[in-house]
Amino acid sequence: MRARRVTLRQVADELGVSAKTVSNAFNRPDQLSAALRDRVLATAHRLGYSGPDPLAAGLRRGRVGAIGVAYANGLSYAFDDPVAVALLAGVTSVAEAAGAGLLLVPGSADPRRSAAAVTGAVVDGLLVASLADDDPLLAAAIARRVPLAVVDQPGPDRLAELGAPGAPWVGIDDRAAMAAVTAHVLALGHRRLGVVAFGLTRDPVRGLVDGAAQAAATYAVSRDRLAGSRDAAAAAGVDWDGVPVSAGTDSTPGEGEAGAAAVLATTPRPTALLCLSDRLAEGALRAAARLGLRVPADLSVTGFDDAATAAGLGLTTVRQPTRRKGELAARALLAPAAGPAAPQLLPTELVPRATTGPPPALPG
């Protein structure tokens, strides 16, 4: 049977002093004589009392000193993915300077557990990162009415629909950025394109997807990046319906390798693969090597993010300020504006490297 926790009141009663005196011995020692404080601490130690509950004290003050970070992936993803690591580094740098900690609230396969995790999180504010438009975790965060900031997705329009107009939002123009890297490949002469995407919805299915499924994606980043490639293709006279697009379940090299293999198995085989993340591109490079394709002589490959691993791979990609996103979102939580916050749209940059070049001379 679990022993009951000794309370501050029991220590006070044992000493014949007020509860405030015991509290001061732990929290405001300058208010007591050294002898009285020593007596209080000795009695507390003898009874097994370790001090006031910091959580309860925080709740009484209206601040517990922690930011919650809610996202769709499993807990390990926050440490495996370099983009997630950069985002959390930005959040942490601001939180640490403000004396606040971080509580990770990862998504779950069970929507009820996800919502419950957000509802029960003891935090001063919630930073929501890359959730689908219909994620119950987001609805639960909004319903709590604690300070809320959003990174990437959902976008400001969707937040307004969900009842959080003016919530701080930090992100990039994913559509324009993806259009830029696609235009780069098209300018090199490629017309046989293929796309390797991550999940389109909260219950993703791996495989080739048509235009209707792309447009119906509930992850705004997936939807916008695919739309950007489609925009650039249309401007170059490339029929998007003929571009094979493979969707995966997450942004990992394994998914990238599987998606690239599916796209490269189509006829005619693409001469350029547009990957929606650097991690997917890493897997696409593996698939190309396994098939004996030289990059970029036989196949050009692009990524997105300019993650820590991109330069080492010589990967053509889009650089986005991921760490800066985390910093700005954390600041919005810790020092909220008096009124609705304007969305913060950060710049991106095309970074051409060694994985793109002119297409090979192919028959047909």
pLDDT tens digits, one per residue of 190-204: 999 999 999 999 888
Structure tokens at 128: 């929501």
Are 274 and 138 contained in the same domain? no
When pLDDT is cut at 50, 70 and 90, the band that residue 339 belongs to is confident
Are 193 and 261 contained in the same domain? yes
Cα 23–chain centre separation: 40
Residue 350 maps to a domain: no
SS3 86: helix
What CATH code is carried by the domain that includes residue 328?
Answer: 3.40.50.2300
Average pLDDT over residues 271-282: 98
Residue 53 maps to a domain: no
Are 317 and 219 contained in the same domain? yes
Which residues touch 77 (CB under 8 Å, ≥6 apart)? 71, 84, 106, 250
Query: 79 or 221, which is more confident?
Result: 221
Residue 58 maps to a domain: no
Residue 201 maps to a domain: yes
Average pLDDT over residues 23-48: 85
Q: For residue 234, give its domain range.
A: 174-321
Residue 33 maps to a domain: yes
pLDDT at residue 115 in the model: 66
Are 41 and 91 contained in the same domain? no
When pLDDT is cut at 50, 70 and 90, the band that residue 281 belongs to is very high
Are 311 and 238 contained in the same domain? yes
Whether the Cβ atoms of residue 141 and residue 118 lie closer than 8 Å to each other: yes
Length of the chain (residues): 364
What CATH code is carried by the domain that includes residue 12?
Answer: 1.10.260.40
Average pLDDT over residues 265-278: 97
pLDDT digits (tens, 9 = 90+) for 285-309: 999 999 999 999 999 999 999 999 9
pLDDT at residue 114 in the model: 64
DSSP string over 135-197: -HHHHHHHHHTS-EEEESSS-HHHHHHTT-TT--EEEE-HHHHHHHHHHHHHHTT---EEEEE
pLDDT at residue 53 in the model: 54
When pLDDT is cut at 50, 70 and 90, the band that residue 87 belongs to is very high
When pLDDT is cut at 50, 70 and 90, the band that residue 48 belongs to is confident
Are 302 and 337 contained in the same domain? no
Residue 362 maps to a domain: no
pLDDT at residue 66 in the model: 82
Average pLDDT over residues 19-31: 83
Are 197 and 280 contained in the same domain? yes
When pLDDT is cut at 50, 70 and 90, the band that residue 72 belongs to is confident
Nearest-angstrom CA–CA distance, 225 and 171: 13
Torsion of CA 338, 157, 350, 247, to 10 degrees: 140
Average pLDDT over residues 92-118: 76
Query: 90 or 31, which is more confident?
Result: 90
pLDDT digits (tens, 9 = 90+) for 136-184: 888 888 887 788 899 999 999 999 999 999 899 999 999 999 999 999 9
Count of structural domains within the chain: 3
When pLDDT is cut at 50, 70 and 90, the band that residue 108 belongs to is low
Edge-to-edge strands, sheet with 193-197: 207-208, 245-247, 193-197, 272-275, 300-302
| % of the chain exceeding 90 in pLDDT | 62
pLDDT at residue 290 in the model: 97
pTM: 0.82
Instruction: Flag whether pLDDT at 74 surpasses 80.
Output: no
Whether the Cβ atoms of residue 153 and residue 221 lie closer than 8 Å to each other: yes
pLDDT at residue 55 in the model: 46
Are 305 and 340 contained in the same domain? no
pLDDT at residue 260 in the model: 98
pLDDT at residue 120 in the model: 67
CA angle 140, 345, 106 (to 5 degrees): 30
How high is the mean pLDDT of the chain?
Answer: 89
Nearest to 255 by CA among 298, 200, 314, 192: 200
Nearest to 178 by CA among 81, 84, 243: 243
Are 305 and 249 contained in the same domain? yes
Are 317 and 341 contained in the same domain? no
Are 164 and 196 contained in the same domain? no
Sequence letter at residue 69: V
Whether the Cβ atoms of residue 40 and residue 14 lie closer than 8 Å to each other: no
Instruction: Flag whether pLDDT at 2 surpasses 50.
Output: no
Residue 254 maps to a domain: yes
Are 192 and 278 contained in the same domain? yes
Residue 101 maps to a domain: yes
